[in-house]
Chain A
Amino acid sequence: MDGSRMTLPPRDTLAAIAATRFGLGARPGEIARITADPQGWLRAQVRPEAVPTPLNPVGLPFPDSRARLVDFAAFKAAEKAAGADTDRRRSSGEMFRQGIAAELLGRTSIATTTNAPFAERWALFWSNHFTVSTRKSQELDALAASFEREAIRPHVFGRFETLLIASSRHPAMILYLDQQSSIGPNSKAGLRRTAGLNENLAREIMELHTLGVSAGYTQADVTEFARVLTGWSVGRREQPGETAGGFMYRPNLHEPGTRTVFGQTYPPGDEDQALRVLADLAASGKTATHLATKLATHFVSDTPDPRLVRRLASAYHDSRGDLSVVARTLIEAPEAWTDTAAKVKTPYELLVSAYRAVDQAPRDYGREVNGPLNLLGQRPLSAPQPNGWSDRATDWAAPDALVKRLQWAQGFAASYANQVDPVQLATDALGSRLRPLTLATLQHAESRKEALAVLLMSPEFQRR
């Protein structure tokens, strides 16, 4: 702790903040259960096992990325074979689409039912940090969920470098940022034909994933890093040395030679040259500050207290990028516990917290999750651009967005209000954050349905 020690709010307020700001919204009984030690409850979630892998309804794992790509290829082949037969064309993709929807429903169910909601929020933060979006192509529809499952979830409480490498080498990221056929001009393949670099992945790793845009790197650094990354690709066929849908290093595409990226020199090194650059990018103080700023913005405020950013950046630096240390530092930081709820929930956070409030999980992905989130402007895993979903309150608190939330809340309340006591529910969901005015409004509602809709739409439920 630094000299400017801040006083923390009372313990019941801490519990409400722990469940809503750090967690994903309280389930019935959660706030009461954690009031004795809200920070201890959060600290106990900082372990890899608290970030589960989505499972299908009978508890089995979903297909890995390679299998997803094989399924996708089969679906495209069937679609092609169907020719002008539109019914057959449509049905050819049905199995494939159902498989993806089942995984996204499983993912939502984790969020709505987990007892470690801070761990899940932490994983969702990193999933958005390393955005892979289904908007790019149908192929990425097949891979976005398995990318999160394989490259993000297992590593969010490990070292950032491990997470960065897992993301950068994953076929989904390679395809999303067009790395698969970037060709070194002086590589064997480059000398044979007119072909060249694609700098998309190199730029976004530096700008979005590590250093941050104002770190001071130049176009020359981006181009050099793109040269380093040449050869990192995706296997397309099953044959010796190649796995369809797996990471594949293609030496024929790699630009030979010594490279200089952001002031560091890298001797020739084939596939491993890029690993060394990624390690240095992960270790940079610029990366520490960039990640610390994003975390503080996500958890606390669009304009986070600089002391909080410094605390998180130091924790990152001193632990050599150990994300569990950074998470614990966030939990300990007094600036993270201000009793102003400065953040507005994203649509996904709103939906998840509503299901948690009524202690339910969605059952129909299309009707209960995808449809509503599409209208609310946040279809899962489909951010419009590689910088992911916005983390600014002002971007979500827009006129039409709030009306769409109201319409959704009415429908949700119609489905779930019969089983609940709204006043108890509101107290359970918000604890001491529930305002007297909202409570009075709930008590005077004309029906359970109206009361539940009022709770979900109340500013304190919309904020965290």
Chain B
Amino acid sequence: MTHALSRRATLRLGFGLGLGVTFLGTTALAADARSPRLVVIICRGAMDGLSVSPPLHDPAYAALRGAIAIPPDKALPLDGDFGLHPKLVNIQRLALAGQARIAPAVAWPVHIRSHFEAQDLLESGADKLYGTQTGWLNRTVQALSEDRAARAIAVAPQAPLILQGPAAYDTWSPGAPFNPAGSRLAGILQDLYQPDPLLGPAFAAGLAVEHEAMALNANAPALKANDARDFATAAARFLAAPGGPAIAVISLDGFDTHANQGAADGQLANRLSGLDDVVAGLEKGLGPDWAQTAVVVATEFGRTAHVNGTGGTDHGTASTLIVAGGALKAGGLLGDWPGLGQGQLFENRDTAPTLDMRRVFKTLIVEHLGVDRRLADTRVFPDSRDAGLISGLV
């Protein structure tokens, strides 16, 4: 690698040599105020697209959904065909300002109904099951690193698959404050960890990111552990910091609404309210950097078009994807609406996909982050030349 030593690498080197990190902090590279940021929010459990962006004027919608249909008078107006779930007030505000768009029928090109395999696909970026063991954001970092330093962080103790791989990655989550430079123990352990190929790099990265977090959080309100809203605030603090990561990942769970999913209120509504807060928290926390930010909200697959026997929905195919952020170009729906009528449903049960999820991701990493198109087509999303970019998105 020929690029200049990043602040990150410098910090790691400092730890390796047993140097205090405090003085190394002064070597931080100047932040590029216009550098693009990407936030990926994974909604685990298969988020119900037909509730996120109800197709209010689809003639089949109300009958298919029965008691869990979002009532037209409760839905937030989006455009002539679609509403947004009543809890998505901030996302609606952004949409009306040209800073959020929905793709109402998105799916991965491989259609499966296992949460865990489908999440593996969404995160690995592979075009077939078990195609790769690393995440597409890790490969994005690798691709970007060919010409500039790039970092990615998951706001969680553990890293989700999407971030795992050979390129260094960070994780951070709120907890008791910790000053690694002032910790004798941290220094002692460096030597013990150094030979361990898995724990060694992770531990060094943990200390470096903790050092960074200490500065970011010093004069800011404390963050709660296990509160998704505070995870958004934490992500924003990292992304907005000079020399901070350009990419952040947040996972939300609890979207597997097989029973009593509710409509305008209820179980799913609570989850969506949390999602809306996360997006609003990113916007607020990023401040002026929101203008250079793209946020993508994706789920592994959608849910059945029909309400099931227990006031919920089962595993389906296409769902709604949301993109938001100041970096977006204004515009309407992404992809076509397949319709919910007789003969229009996929396998006579699910929303049919009209847009390959990889196209959205790929457009964001190529046109927003600046990943080389050839690398995006071959390495970040293997064998994906057919999945072209979406024009006019960013």
Chain A residues with CB under 8 Å of chain B are: 135, 177-178, 180-183, 190, 194-200, 203, 207, 213-214, 219, 222, 344, 374-377, 384-387, 390, 393-404, 406-407, 410, 437-438, 441, 445-446, 450, 453-454, 457-459, 462-463
**Bound: A446/B198 CA distance, A:** 28
Among A190, A222, A376, point to the contact of B157 (Cβ < 8 A).
A376
Q: List 9 other contacts, CB 8 Å, given A207-B114, A450-B188.
A: A177-B258, A203-B113, A203-B114, A219-B113, A400-B158, A406-B189, A406-B206, A450-B185, A459-B192
**Bound: A401/B199 CA distance, A:** 11
Among A182, A437, A446, point to the contact of B184 (Cβ < 8 A).
A446
**Residue pair B171, A462 in contact (C-beta under 8 Å):** no
Q: How large is the interface on B (under 10, 10 to 19, 20 to 34, 35 or more residues)?
A: 35 or more
CB distance from B224 to the nearest CB of A (A): 11
The stretch that binds A, out of B18-26, B77-85, B308-316, is: B308-316
Instruction: List 22 A-B pairs, Cβ < 8 Å.
Output: A178-B310, A181-B259, A181-B309, A198-B259, A207-B116, A213-B116, A377-B173, A387-B116, A394-B198, A398-B159, A399-B209, A400-B156, A400-B158, A402-B199, A403-B209, A404-B175, A406-B185, A406-B186, A406-B189, A407-B176, A438-B192, A441-B191
**Residue pair A399, B116 in contact (C-beta under 8 Å):** no
**Bound: A403/B314 CA distance, A:** 39
Given contacts A377-B158, A438-B192, contact A399 B206 (CB under 8 A): yes
Check B48 for interface membership: any CB of A closer than 8 A: no
CB distance from B26 to the nearest CB of A (A): 23
Given contacts A135-B253, A203-B315, A400-B209, contact A441 B188 (CB under 8 A): yes
Chain B residues with CB under 8 Å of chain A are: 44-45, 66, 113-117, 129, 154, 156-159, 164, 169-173, 175-176, 178, 180, 183-186, 188-189, 191-193, 195-196, 198-200, 202-203, 205-210, 225-226, 253-254, 256, 258-259, 306, 308-310, 312, 314-315, 347
**Residue pair A403, B199 in contact (C-beta under 8 Å):** no
Which of the listed residues A197, A376, A396, A402 has the most CB atoms from chain B within 10 Å of its own CB?
Answer: A402
CB distance from A103 to the nearest CB of B (A): 22
**Residue pair A199, B315 in contact (C-beta under 8 Å):** yes
**Bound: A454/B259 CA distance, A:** 48
**Bound: A398/B163 CA distance, A:** 11
Overall SS of chain B's interface: loop
Q: What chain A residues lie within 8 Å of B44 (beta carbons)?
A: 384-385
**Residue pair A396, B185 in contact (C-beta under 8 Å):** no
CB distance from A128 to the nearest CB of B (A): 14
**Bound: A462/B306 CA distance, A:** 48
**Residue pair A181, B310 in contact (C-beta under 8 Å):** yes
Which of the listed residues A196, A197, A376 has the most CB atoms from chain B within 10 Å of its own CB?
Answer: A196
**Bound: A180/B175 CA distance, A:** 39
Given contacts A200-B258, A375-B225, A376-B157, contact A400 B206 (CB under 8 A): yes
Among B129, B156, B180, B315, point to the contact of A377 (Cβ < 8 A).
B156
CB distance from A361 to the nearest CB of B (A): 24
**Residue pair B314, A385 in contact (C-beta under 8 Å):** no
Given contacts A195-B309, A393-B198, A394-B164, contact A213 B185 (CB under 8 A): no
Among A207, A384, A393, A403, point to the contact of B207 (Cβ < 8 A).
A403
Q: What chain A residues lie within 8 Å of B114 (beta carbons)?
A: 203, 207, 213
CB distance from B276 to the nearest CB of A (A): 20
Q: What chain A residues lie within 8 Å of B254 (beta carbons)?
A: 135
CB distance from B311 to the nearest CB of A (A): 9
CB distance from B156 to the nearest CB of A (A): 7
Given contacts A402-B203, A406-B189, A438-B192, contact A395 B310 (CB under 8 A): no
5 closest A-B pairs by CB: A196-B309, A399-B206, A377-B157, A399-B205, A400-B171
Which of the listed residues A194, A374, A459 has the most CB atoms from chain B within 10 Å of its own CB?
Answer: A459
Residue of B nearest to A206 (CB): B114
Residue of B nearest to A198 (CB): B310
Which of the listed residues A207, A390, A401, A454 has the most CB atoms from chain B within 10 Å of its own CB?
Answer: A401
Q: What chain A residues lie within 8 Å of B176 (beta carbons)?
A: 407
Q: What chain A residues lie within 8 Å of B183 (beta carbons)?
A: 406
